[in-house]
Amino acid sequence: AQSVSQHNHHVILSEAASLELGCNYSYGGTVNLFWYVQYPGQHLQLLLKYFSGDPLVKGIKGFEAEFIKSKFSFNLRKPSVQWSDTAEYFCAVNKGAGNKLTFGGGTRVLVKP
Amino acid sequence: NAGVTQTPKFQVLKTGQSMTLQCAQDMNHEYMSWYRQDPGMGLRLIHYSVGAGITDQGEVPNGYNVSRSTTEDFPLRLLSAAPSQTSVYFCASSPRGGRGTDTQYFGPGTRLTVL
């Protein structure tokens, strides 16, 4: 079965620090990759997605992610975080033509002011 | 557009009771789905639909039923609630069924507690 792993369950960092969240998936075929974010009290929203082309994708709020096919990874990065980036971040994967998403367990990020 | 709406926001049930979680979208999306969110487990797919009259099971369908009589609505029915169904439930929609590149739009969630 397809699985998605997020290695860090909790991350605490200070404002202006750099953030990198790991995501690995197990499926070997064509995949579409997503990062969703859930801010406190809000519903999930898309940060960015990758399905083809340049493996370095840029999303909203200064986030970017790099798809490395050989490592089955899609890590999320932000060079300098703000207090408002405090949220839970989810990596998700689906197979080429289907909409069914498989989510990772999520990473809670706390940014201290 | 209101996007994806869910009712109720909170619900407490006793074991064995049944109830329906409502989900509606006003974006004319073909694809709709239900997920449950449990700590440390991310979101897991319960049921999904690629269009009116078409539904299928996801990863964790046991104890839940769905129907899709209209494009707009996709209710989730708990047949006989169990404590293991205590969770936060999210409904999501995306424009087209069978297009995995489409963004999914999530509702605000329903927090369900089963005693």
Residue B92: count of CB within 10 angstroms of its CB: 27
Residue-level pLDDT at A67:
95
Residue-level pLDDT at A2:
67
Residues of A with CB below 8 A from B94's CB? 99
Q: How far is Cα of residue B48 from the mean position of the Cα atoms in its chain?
A: 8
Largest CA distance in chain B: 40
Distance between CA atoms of residues B62 and B97, nearest Å: 23
Residue-level pLDDT at B96:
86
Q: Is A65 helix (H, G, I), strand (E, B) or coil?
A: strand
Omega of the bond leading into B8 within 30 degrees of 0 (cis): yes
Summarised one tens digit per residue, pLDDT across range A53-70 is: 999 999 999 999 999 999
- Give residue for tokens 């926001």: B9
CA B7, B21, B107 angle in degrees (round to 5)?
A: 55
- Local confidence band at B27 (pLDDT 50, 70, 90 cut-offs): very high
Residue-level pLDDT at A100:
87
Q: For every residue of B27-41, which 3-state class applies, written as one string?
A: CCCCEEEEEEEECCC
Instruction: Enumerate residues 13 to 52 of chain A having a beta carbon within 8 A of any beta carbon in chain B.
Output: 32, 34, 36, 42-46, 49, 51
Min distance A33 CA to chain B CA atoms (Å)? 8
Using a pLDDT cut of 70, give the percent of chain A over it. 96
Summarised one tens digit per residue, pLDDT across range A19-43 is: 999 999 998 788 899 999 999 988 8
Whether residue B99 and residue A106 make contact (CB cut-off 8 A), yes or no, is: no
Q: Classify strands B110-114 and B10-13 as parallel, antiparallel or unpaired.
A: parallel
pLDDT at B1 over 90: no
pLDDT at B33 over 90: yes
Whether residue A106 and residue B42 make contact (CB cut-off 8 A), yes or no, is: yes
Interface size A-B, in CB pairs within 8 Å, comes to 67
More confident residue, A56 or B40: A56
Cα nearest neighbour of B104 on chain A: A46
Residue-level pLDDT at A96:
62
The DSSP string of A25-64 is: E---S-EEEEEEEE-TTS--EEEEEESSS-SEEE-GGG-E
B101 shares contact with chain A (CB less than 8 Å): yes
Nearest to A67 by CA among A78, A75, A59: A75
pLDDT at A8 over 80: yes
Whether residue B100 and residue A51 make contact (CB cut-off 8 A), yes or no, is: yes
Residue-level pLDDT at B101:
81
Whether residue B42 and residue A4 make contact (CB cut-off 8 A), yes or no, is: yes
Summarised one tens digit per residue, pLDDT across range B53-73 is: 999 999 999 999 999 999 999
Distance between CA atoms of residues A43 and A17, nearest Å: 25
pLDDT at A1 over 80: no
More confident residue, A29 or B47: B47
Residues of B with CB below 8 A from A104's CB? 42
Token reading at B71: 């494009």
Please tell me which of the candidates A9, A44, A49 has its beta carbon nearest to residue B40.
Answer: A9
First vs last Cα of chain B: how many Å apart? 36
- Local confidence band at A99 (pLDDT 50, 70, 90 cut-offs): confident
Q: Is B71 helix (H, G, I), strand (E, B) or coil?
A: coil
